[in-house]
Structure 1
Amino acid sequence: MNITRTNIDNLNAVVKVDIAKEDYSDKVEKILTDYRKSANIPGFRKGHVPMTLVKKQYGKAVLVDEVNKLLQDALNKYLVEEKLDVLGNPLPKPQDDLDWNSDQFSFEFELGLSPEFDIDLKIKKAITHYQIYADDKMIDDQVKHIQKQYGKLVSTDVVEANSEITGTFVNEDNNINNTATFSLEKIKGKSNIKNLTGAKVGDVITLNTKELFNDSHDLMTYLKVSHDAAHDLKVDVKLTIAEINSRVLADLDQDLFDKLFAKGEVNTVTELKEKIKTDSEKQFQQQSDQKLMNDVTDYLIENIKFDLPASFLQKWLQNAGEKPMNEEEAKDEYEKSEKSIRYQLIEGKLMEKYNVKVEFEDLKTHAKELIKSQMAQFGQLNPSEQELDDIAARILSNRDEVKRLSEQLVSKKLLDLYKAEANLKVKKITYDDFVKEFYS
């Protein structure tokens, strides 16, 4: 057997595999001999079928099968030995004139080669790393929310500033008929608030949906209209008031603190606010990290320049999935997935350059941390190491779970790498400003 490679350019090559008779003949002969021993052909005793008949009936199928096995093994071994970093899979070149009656065979495969490039995280333009903090307003709002949540409702006669109103919104022309409960604080505009203030149970108030609520998306909740309709809805609705309640805030005392946290963990309002601040900023850290991960990823994709064997990859995509594609479909699919392909190559280069690895012990530790966190949510605060080991072992026996956890761990290790090596500038920002800047 002889394998040769012709480089078309830096990203494309053709590998030719020449297979001679001596490469496959012994194997084919042995298989046919075994067939002869077990062949059951009318007119011949088992094990006494003439070899010429066995070869006539099975010879070509066995030959094709063995040559293909030999071809795939040889090609895979060659790619490993030559340390060729290929994209997709080798594509066999069509051979309409292949003669299986010949003793010698030649096969050619197209290869798409990974591009050569380098990465330096010490980029000139610093990427912003947001540190989200809980300001006094947010903490005070959270305290008030807790007081409302653990407070009690008292029925009242008329709508006042702190009232919660239950009523039915109706507009027959727009198929609106929904009963909902909302606080007066949700209402927008002085005229709307004035119309509702002082209203009693049984009163019917006409309101216009345009800028009725501080957040237009509340129309989806209280009137049950679609997202698209909520943004442009400008109709009159009649609100029939069925119930009016005033919420009495819970006292900020030890009884409330012990309902919120472990007994004795929080003893004063100052400690409550500090606990809210700490817990909130721990949650904000996840959003900050995800934002940093997205920003660094986008920067690398846009600024690490290299070419891809686009024509090869489009051709490969035509038959890579369950359903074959035509050329146009494959081109569209390539354009959709090009950024993903680039990032996979960049990620691989980063892991190689900075020695980022995921070992089995890393996976086990990561799995146990997740298990411990989930158990804590159900009040199991001190599971034994044996219990954690047993659950982790069951999880890591599932291939899909191993893949999912590995991807999580790679992202975590890369995030740590970016924080340590990338050129970052820290910007402190309140949660409200963070949301306005990136999600409004």
Structure 2
Amino acid sequence: MNITRNNVDALNAIVTIELAKEDYQGNVDKVLSNYKKNANIPGFRKGAVPMSLIQKQYGKAVMFEEINKVLQDKLNNYLVEEKLDILGNPLPVANENFDWEADVLKFDFELGLAPEFTVELDTKNKVTKFQVVADDAMLDEQVEFVQKQYGKLIAKDSVEETSEMVGTFSNEEEGINYETKIPVSAFRTKTNQKKFINKKVGDQITVNTKGLFEDEHKLMDYLGVDHDKVHGLEADVIFTIKEINETEKAELNQELFDKLFGKDVVTSVEQLKEKIKEDAEKQFEGQADQKFLNDVYEHLLSTTKFDLPADFLKKWLETAGETKMTAEEAASEYEKSEKGLRYQLIEGKVMSQFDLQLNFEEIKAYTENLIKQQLAQFGQAEPDDKTVEDIVARVMSNQDEVKRISEQVMNDKMLALFKEKANVKTKEVSYKDFVKEMYGE
């Protein structure tokens, strides 16, 4: 057997494997011998079928199968030994005039090679790292939300300015059929608010989505509209009232503070706001970190230039899935997936270039911390070690969970690297402005 490689260019290569009969014939003879022992053919006793008949009936199929096994094994070993970083899978080169009777069989395989490139993190253009703060307006809203959440719900016969309604927004043409809870005050204009006043359960009110809320993104919350549809959506929707309620707000007293945070942890409205601010900004930090991570990758996608073996990948896509694609379908699929492939290659390069690795102890420690946080949410602030160990063992026995946690640990390593190495500028914003940065105006 002989294996050679011809590099067509930096991104494409042809690997040629030459097989002599001795490379596969022994396996073929062994399989045919087993067939002979177990064959049940009319007119012959079991095990007494002539080998010539076995050869005639099964010989070619067995030869093809055994040659394929040898080819796959030798090709995979060659790729590992040569440390070839390929994209997709090797593609056999078709040969209509292939001579299966030749003493030496020669097979060609196309390879798409991963491009060589480096990633520069300390670039001229700065990437913004947002620091989201809970401003006074938001804190006042959250205090009111807490009061309503722990307040007393009173059913009403008709809608008033301070009412909260439960109902369904619907528009068949736009695919909207979404049950929601919405206060009358959520509507941006008095004109739309007045449409609901004095209405009763079962009544239907038609409003237009254009300018319905102060922020178009509220269409996602109240109508279940996808983000890519919210901007400029102009459609009539029907709201069918199912419930009308009024909330009698809870008093801001020690009883409420204790219910929220435990006895005497918070003793004033000022401390309540401080606690809300602390918790909110901690939550915002995670969202801001994720946006920062995404923005760095978008920046790297635009500044890290490399070519891909596009023609090879399109050809590979034609046969890669369960259903074969046409050349046109494969080209369209490649166009849609090219950005994701570049993202994966850049991510892999960052990991290798900056030696970001995972080990079992890191994954286990992250899992333990995660379990303790979850138990704390259910009132077990200091769980015993045995309880935590048992839960961690169950989680770590689930491959899907280990994969998910591993990705999160690596995500955190990437984030720390980018914060350290990338050219970052920090900008302090309110949560409202941060949402605009996330989704646009």
TM-score scaled by structure 1?
0.83
> Structure 1 residues 97-106 or 333-342, which shifts more?
97-106
Match of 1:172 in 2: none
Match of 2:162 in 1: 163
**CA apart distance, 1:158:** 11
Q: Does 1:313 align with 2:319?
A: no
**CA apart distance, 1:325:** 0.3
> Structure 1 residues 186-195 or 43-52, which shifts more?
186-195
CA distance in 1, matches of 2:392, 2:280: 29
CA distance in 2, matches of 1:371, 1:232: 45
**CA apart distance, 1:61:** 2.2
CA distance in 2, matches of 1:291, 1:344: 18
Q: Does 1:369 align with 2:369?
A: yes
Match of 1:8 in 2: 8
Deviations 1:56-90 (A, max 9, x none): 33322222221111111111111111111111000
Asked if the contact 1:166–1:179 (Cα under 8 Å) also holds between the matched residues in 2, the reply is no
Match of 1:388 in 2: 388
CA distance in 2, matches of 1:208, 1:44: 84
Asked if the contact 1:217–1:231 (Cα under 8 Å) also holds between the matched residues in 2, the reply is no
- 1:78 aligned partner, one-letter code: Y
The 3-state SS of whatever aligns with 1:266 is coil
**CA apart distance, 1:249:** 3.8
**CA apart distance, 1:188:** 4.5
Match of 1:347 in 2: 347
> Structure 1 residues 375-384 or 291-300, which shifts more?
375-384
Asked if the contact 1:164–1:181 (Cα under 8 Å) also holds between the matched residues in 2, the reply is no
The 3-state SS of whatever aligns with 1:110 is strand
- 1:313 aligned partner, one-letter code: L
The 3-state SS of whatever aligns with 2:32 is helix
CA distance in 2, matches of 1:239, 1:18: 73
CA distance in 1, matches of 2:388, 2:423: 38
Q: Which has the larger radius of gyration?
A: 1
Between the two proteins, the alignment pairs up a number of residues equal to 426
Unaligned runs of 5+ in 1: 170-177
CA distance in 1, matches of 2:412, 2:305: 25
> Structure 1 residues 260-269 or 426-435, which shifts more?
260-269
CA distance in 2, matches of 1:228, 1:291: 20
CA distance in 2, matches of 1:239, 1:315: 52
Q: Does 1:407 align with 2:388?
A: no
- 1:122 aligned partner, one-letter code: D
CA distance in 1, matches of 2:239, 2:410: 55
Q: How does 1:291-302 map to 2 (within 5 A)?
A: 291-302=291-302
CA distance in 1, matches of 2:271, 2:144: 15
With over 3 angstroms needed to count, the CA separation of the structure-2 counterparts of 1:405 and 1:183, relative to structure 1, is closer
CA distance in 1, matches of 2:231, 2:22: 75
**CA apart distance, 1:92:** 0.1
Match of 1:324 in 2: 324
**CA apart distance, 1:259:** 1.2
CA distance in 1, matches of 2:152, 2:365: 45
Q: How does 1:213-292 map to 2 (within 5 A)?
A: 214=214, 232=234, 248-292=248-292
With over 3 angstroms needed to count, the CA separation of the structure-2 counterparts of 1:288 and 1:25, relative to structure 1, is same
Match of 1:58 in 2: 58
CA distance in 1, matches of 2:422, 2:31: 60
**Between the two proteins, what is the percent identity of the paired residues?**
51
Asked if the contact 2:186–2:213 (Cα under 8 Å) also holds between the matched residues in 1, the reply is yes
CA distance in 2, matches of 1:326, 1:105: 30
CA distance in 1, matches of 2:414, 2:84: 25
CA distance in 2, matches of 1:142, 1:96: 73
Asked if the contact 2:3–2:17 (Cα under 8 Å) also holds between the matched residues in 1, the reply is yes
The 3-state SS of whatever aligns with 2:3 is strand
The 3-state SS of whatever aligns with 2:24 is helix
CA distance in 1, matches of 2:179, 2:80: 68
CA distance in 2, matches of 1:366, 1:378: 19
Asked if the contact 1:90–1:112 (Cα under 8 Å) also holds between the matched residues in 2, the reply is yes
Match of 1:143 in 2: 143
- 1:360 aligned partner, one-letter code: F
Deviations 1:182-223 (A, max 9, x none): 6564454567789999x8999x9x998686765678799999
Match of 2:172 in 1: none
With over 3 angstroms needed to count, the CA separation of the structure-2 counterparts of 1:437 and 1:346, relative to structure 1, is closer
**CA apart distance, 1:356:** 1.0
TM-score scaled by structure 2?
0.83
> Structure 1 residues 32-41 or 124-133, which shifts more?
32-41
Q: Does 1:26 align with 2:26?
A: yes
> Structure 1 residues 291-300 or 151-160, which shifts more?
151-160
CA distance in 1, matches of 2:194, 2:60: 92
Match of 2:421 in 1: 421
With over 3 angstroms needed to count, the CA separation of the structure-2 counterparts of 1:425 and 1:106, relative to structure 1, is same
CA distance in 1, matches of 2:234, 2:248: 36
> Structure 1 residues 395-404 or 79-88, which shifts more?
395-404
